[in-house]
């Protein structure tokens, strides 16, 4: 694949395609400039209206930014003073501040859109607009040919699963116990579902291998069930070990690369009874398990991931309480996050030492899920602060640890943990990315309005909801790949998929996310593989059997598998690219009419085209 830089116009400066500090577009190549005519990004066109002189506009912009800067800081100070004094209480203080900003928004938006928008220099306006909006990326998909895809020749194409979700017979781990719990009189799992036999993959490995061959994939990501291999502390089940030997041998014999995950949300009950990763000393138990399975399979398996989605596991288990152990303790959550990061470092160092001793060419990495937290109301500094805090907790504190060696987990009134390990910067051979969507942050919606529909979180106008509480956002996939590029590591997309029960959006989802990944590769991201989540419909953790992620539909009564129509585009992409054909035929992509609900439009008439002013941007922590 030719990654040489295209020709650049004479007026373009030779600067990075993307400013890594703010992830905003800056001095782009000609083909990447979000032009107002081609709609490559959400930059509103210059419309009719009053035209001011450039001098006037420049001074107005400066005054606006100065005024807005000090207004935010003054109101933040007043808010936290009121909070500290506890005279009004937390919610009362936030309510007053939010009302002030909502009132100010009507005036500032009117001035901004009426007097500052129709200026005489579109290029200056474009840069200013993106600086204020914090650089959202929204592409005009009606003008993008998603058939034009290109990937490296040795690209890994695969699907992902996890042991508890598909194997069946997992009755000795933290999830099997959690599924039997009642929370405030209600089942811990939606609809009272229990995993049971799941997809019965444990007894149908040969059948599911045939499904992979039908798709044409050359890799398969799966996890080893710790509770089956070590059902009691220090006691190893040889039958379970032999089962995974046979499974791995089967994949290798059919030219499918086994991609093994060591921890995918499940732990044996004996480990849970010792408080699991809440205690630093328990890291040794996990290390012992990893060493055991590595000595068993290390000669056969080259690709390893240690821990899947630290932040998802911790946030759902120790903040929201919807994963085991079902706690709501932010301070404890911070400690578990650190212990899991330390566990990854310990496992990486031990396994790499074993790989050198045995001469096994192992590649070991962490799987990081990225959900961007974008501001719903760009003018509200409280939304910006909440977005920053969530991004820090969910994304930055973990990435910064492996980028710099410094772990800093800070949440006001809850946690302030500092830790340093210089070895962390060299404890990944690659980074795994799980990406699905982004969240739109609103203080008002979160603390006062609540969520009108528990299945629908806040979103930008006209974004299409999936069966999960979030939306389709392929542009965020591109953003996530560019973010991980700063680690200077090869990237493997270890999960990406859509829950789509009626199969109305799966083709569109796959086509657009593939385009975003191809675009990132073209722009310099070292992406070496893609694993779709998931091969089969499965037990989706706290949501039970409701969400349908599978390329293959599963009848859980008969265990019959059937390829979904929406999955055929994935099969076509894989087969064509492995055959060296880098352009899909037009008939390969038939989106049809989507029946999926959309986010409410902010305009008064939902049937009118949504104005670009309504598309808000991502929040990024400023460089200190």
Q: What is the pLDDT of residue 448?
A: 57
CATH, residue 514: 3.20.20.80
47 in a structural domain: yes
Do 31 and 115 share a domain, yes or no? yes
Closest CA to 621 of 23, 94, 53, 154: 23
Element (H, E) at 211: helix 205-215
Mean pLDDT of 243-267: 99
| Phi and psi angles of residue 601, each rounded to the nearest 5 degrees, phi first | -75, 145
Do 112 and 183 share a domain, yes or no? no
- Per the structure block, which two tokens stand in for 363? 């590649």
57 in a structural domain: yes
Q: What is the pLDDT of residue 375?
A: 87
Q: What is the pLDDT of residue 607?
A: 29
- Per the structure block, which two tokens stand in for 293? 């399975």
What distance in Å separates the CA atoms of residue 482 and residue 437, rounded to the nearest whole number?
15
Do 124 and 192 share a domain, yes or no? no
**Cα angle value 327/407/484 (rounded, 5°):** 95
Per-residue pLDDT tens for 473-529?
999 999 999 999 999 999 999 999 999 999 999 999 999 999 999 999 999 999 999
What distance in Å separates the CA atoms of residue 480 and residue 525, rounded to the nearest whole number?
10
Residue 424 near residue 405, CB atoms below 8 Å: yes
Number of Cβ atoms within 10 Å of the Cβ of 38: 13
Query: Does residue 435 carry a pLDDT above 50?
Result: yes
Query: Does residue 463 carry a pLDDT above 60?
Result: yes
Do 290 and 322 share a domain, yes or no? yes
167 in a structural domain: yes
Name the pairing type of β-strands 156-160 and 527-533: parallel
SS3 content of the chain, % helix, strand, coil (to 5): 45, 15, 40
Residue 213 near residue 151, CB atoms below 8 Å: no
Boundaries of domain holding 296: 156-578
The mean of the pLDDT values for the chain is 79
Which residues of 140-255 form beta strands (DSSP E)?
A: 156-160, 182-183, 186-187, 219-223
What is the DSSP secondary-structure string of 26-46? Answer: -S--GGG---TTTTSS--PPP
534 in a structural domain: yes
Q: What is the pLDDT of residue 91?
A: 53
Identify the DSSP state of 604: S
Do 237 and 104 share a domain, yes or no? no
Query: Does residue 539 carry a pLDDT above 90?
Result: yes
Per-residue pLDDT tens for 334-359?
999 999 999 999 999 999 999 999 99
Position 71 confidence tier, pLDDT thresholds 50, 70, 90: low
Instruction: Collect contacts of 277-284 with beta carbons under 8 A, ≥24 apart.
Output: 277/336, 277/339, 277/340, 277/343, 278/332, 278/335, 278/336, 278/339, 279/339, 280/339, 280/342, 282/339, 283/339, 283/342, 283/343, 283/346
Q: Residue 418 burial (CB < 10 Å; 0-12/13-18/19+)?
A: exposed
Do 85 and 170 share a domain, yes or no? no
Domain boundary among 542, 559, 578: 578
Which entry of 225, 267, 475, 495 is annotated as an active-site residue?
Answer: 495
Closest CA to 396 of 343, 425, 404, 479: 404
2 in a structural domain: no
Q: What is the pLDDT of residue 5?
A: 37
Choice between 107 and 472, residue whose per-residue pLDDT is larger? 472
Per-residue pLDDT tens for 204-242?
999 999 999 999 999 999 999 999 999 999 999 999 999
Q: What b/e sequence results for 543-569 when a residue is b if at least 16 CB atoms lie within 10 Å of its CB, and e otherwise?
A: bbbbbbbbbbbbebeebebebbebbbb
How far apart, in Å, are the Cα atoms of 270 and each of 173, 266, 480? 8, 12, 37
Do 463 and 517 share a domain, yes or no? yes
Q: How many domains does the chain have?
A: 2
Grouping H, G, I as helix, E, B as strand and the rest as coil, residue 273 is helix
Domain boundary among 561, 578, 595: 578
139 in a structural domain: no
Closest CA to 35 of 150, 126, 125: 126
Closest CA to 91 of 455, 450, 458: 450
Cα-only R_g, the chain: 25
Do 128 and 249 share a domain, yes or no? no
Q: What is the pLDDT of residue 414?
A: 76
Position 564 confidence tier, pLDDT thresholds 50, 70, 90: very high
598 in a structural domain: no
Residue 540 near residue 316, CB atoms below 8 Å: no
Which residues of 355-396 form beta strands (DSSP E)?
A: 363-375
Do 128 and 172 share a domain, yes or no? no
Do 192 and 124 share a domain, yes or no? no
Do 172 and 79 share a domain, yes or no? no
Residue 199 near residue 538, CB atoms below 8 Å: yes
584 in a structural domain: no
Residue 167 annotated among the catalytic residues of the structure: no
Which residues of 66-205 form beta strands (DSSP E)?
A: 156-160, 182-183, 186-187
Do 207 and 107 share a domain, yes or no? no
């Amino acid at each position: 694949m030719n990654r040489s830089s295209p020709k650049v116009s004479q007026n373009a400066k030779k600067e990075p395609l993307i400013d890594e500090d703010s992830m905003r577009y800056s001095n782009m190549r000609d083909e990447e400039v979000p032009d107002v005519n081609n709609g490559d990004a959400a930059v509103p066109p210059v419309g009719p209206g009053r035209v001011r002189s450039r001098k006037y506009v420049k001074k107005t912009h400066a005054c606006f930014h100065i005024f807005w800067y000090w207004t935010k800081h003054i109101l933040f100070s007043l808010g936290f003073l009121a909070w500290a004094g506890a005279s009004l209480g937390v919610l009362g203080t936030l309510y007053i501040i939010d009302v002030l900003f909502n009132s100010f928004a009507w005036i500032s938006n009117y001035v901004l859109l009426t007097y500052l928008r129709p200026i005489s220099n579109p290029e200056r306006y474009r840069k200013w607009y993106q600086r204020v909006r914090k650089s959202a990326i929204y592409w005009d998909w009606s003008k993008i040919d998603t058939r034009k895809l290109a990937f490296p020749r040795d690209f890994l194409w695969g699907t992902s699963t996890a042991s508890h979700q598909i194997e069946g017979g997992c009755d000795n781990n933290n999830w099997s116990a959690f599924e039997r719990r009642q929370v405030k009189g209600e089942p811990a799992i939606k609809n009272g579902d229990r995993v049971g036999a799941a997809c019965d993959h444990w007894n149908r490995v040969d059948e599911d291998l045939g499904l992979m061959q039908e798709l044409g994939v050359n890799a398969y990501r799966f996890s080893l069930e710790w509770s089956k291999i070590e059902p009691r502390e220090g006691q190893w089940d040889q039958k379970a070990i032999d089962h995974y030997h046979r499974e791995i041998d089967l994949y290798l014999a059919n030219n499918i690369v086994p991609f093994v995950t060591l921890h995918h949300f499940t732990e044996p009950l004996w480990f849970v009874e010792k408080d699991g990763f809440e205690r630093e000393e328990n890291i040794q138990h996990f290390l012992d398990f990893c060493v055991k399975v590595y000595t068993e399979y290390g000669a056969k398996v080259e690709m390893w991931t240690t821990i899947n989605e630290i932040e998802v596991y911790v946030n759902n288990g120790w903040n929201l309480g919807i994963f085991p152990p079902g706690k709501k303790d932010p301070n404890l959550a911070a400690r578990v996050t650190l212990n899991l990061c330390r566990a990854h470092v310990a496992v990486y160092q031990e396994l790499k030492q074993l790989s050198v001793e045995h001469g096994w060419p192992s590649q070991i990495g962490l799987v990081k899920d990225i959900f961007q937290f974008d501001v719903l109301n760009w003018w509200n500094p409280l939304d910006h602060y909440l977005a920053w805090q969530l991004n820090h907790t969910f994304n930055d504190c973990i990435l910064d640890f492996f980028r710099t060696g410094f772990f800093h987990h800070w949440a006001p009134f809850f946690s302030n943990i500092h830790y340093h390990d210089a070895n962390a910067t060299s404890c990944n051979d690659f980074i795994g990315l799980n990406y699905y969507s982004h969240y739109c942050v609103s203080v008002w919606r979160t603390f006062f309005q609540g969520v009108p529909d528990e299945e629908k979180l806040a979103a930008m106008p006209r974004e299409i909801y999936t069966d999960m509480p979030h939306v389709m956002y392929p542009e965020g996939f591109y953003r996530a790949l560019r973010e991980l590029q700063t680690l200077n590591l090869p990237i493997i997309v270890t999960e990406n998929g859509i829950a789509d029960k009626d199969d109305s959006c799966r083709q569109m989802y796959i086509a657009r996310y593939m385009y975003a990944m191809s675009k990132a590769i073209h722009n310099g991201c070292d992406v070496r593989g893609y694993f779709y989540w998931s091969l089969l419909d499965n037990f989706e953790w706290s949501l039970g059997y409701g969400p349908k992620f599978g390329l293959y539909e599963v009848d859980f009564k008969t265990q019959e598998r059937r390829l979904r129509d929406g999955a055929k585009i994935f099969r076509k992409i894989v087969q064509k690219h492995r055959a060296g054909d880098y352009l899909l035929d037009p008939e390969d992509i038939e989106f049809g009419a989507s029946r999926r609900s959309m986010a409410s439009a902010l305009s008064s008439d939902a049937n009118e085209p949504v104005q670009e002013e309504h598309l808000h941007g991502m929040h990024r922590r400023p460089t200190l």
